[in-house]
Chain A
Amino acid sequence: MRASVGDRIVINGHRVGEPDRDCEVLEVRGQDGGPPYLVRWGESGHESLFFPGSDATVAHPAGAMN
């Protein structure tokens, strides 16, 4: 996975009815846009390190170059 500051990462729900989650990338700690990422979680604003698995995808902000 490659991400940039400002990207959103969407984590797909694992069970039927479980909502998707999303967070905003604040810092890229890996090399060349790789993980881990310092992220901020939606409503709570809490920050954590994020290590993406196969359930996560990057959503680039509108207008951003890939």
Chain B
Amino acid sequence: MSETDLSRRQLFVAGAGLVAAAYGLAGCTVERPLDRSAAGNLVEPKIDGDLLIFNWAQYMDPQIKKSFAEKYGVEVKEVNFDNLEAMVTKLRAGGSYDLIFPSTEYVLRLRNEQLIRPFDRSKLKNADSLTPFYDSPWYDPNSEFSVPYAYYTTGIAWNTNEVKEMTESWNDMSNPEALGRIFMLDDFQEGIGQANLLNGFYLNTEKSDQLEVSKQTLLDQKEGLRGFSTNSVQNLVSGAAALTQAWNGDVVNARNQVDDPSIFKYETCKEGVPVGSDLMCIPVTSQSPGTAMLFMDWVLRPDNAYRNVMWNGYPMPVAGGREAFAELVKDDPSIDVDLSQLADSAMEFRLDSPEARQEWTRIWTEVKA
């Protein structure tokens, strides 16, 4: 053995050192503790500094930021995330953003973790016209931590040149006219959710026997799939998809990219319509929470909401936003799903425990594997 080789004793000592270090870490979370002292204080809408927005890319008309900056004499900057888990990780690590755009489930998680701050919604002048669906949502019962930014329904989009018979049911996910040219959203909740609805189960069921049945449904549907993908716009426009599970905003964007938008139609299904929402929240780490609150109000102002919907193609549940979306899809009103029309069939994804989440993701992996 040459002298540069590790001896067994050295290896043992190094191993013992690693175990000791691991013991020191045991019970700790990945991130260090954060100053959450602001979590209990109500935010007041007043200019208290420049604004840093943390949002999905291409999700807000830049003109809205520009006009706000001009009106209030502050700088408005935007940085982007490409998934919510990464966004939360940065918040936990102490990242100082003023406004974030989580989904409903993430609002609940951020609230439980004391990572977002409460505010008085009645002080937002433009919140009065919000759709009542958001008055007392499950993830934020008193609407103290969030206001809605945009929402989307999940349904099925198809190319009318290739598919003629549709039945307004999740059964259409295995429409024989489209076999081999069908895409399912690559999202474990959307995938399992539609199978649950098709089987007559609760959208978010946590019952193992029901989930097993839905898994079989998914495996059957998989036979006719061309892929799992959230890139519905590209799949429709490129001709890869004859039929795809889709979010209504993406159907609008696909229609905008072709000469004859009437070739793409969209249906919601009678077994149930999943509704997703992106919301606006103020993190505890915000340096300018007051400015952030004024900016929320600015985004919800009817003319800005109108402009924004026209720009990104996703409906906003507020005066101005609703009208804009209706106008975008006036030749195919089926895409314009108003939350108040949905009444009982509207449903939101929620998994209340990490165990349920793991069960769902395990099933999803088994389907995709």
Does B bind A? no
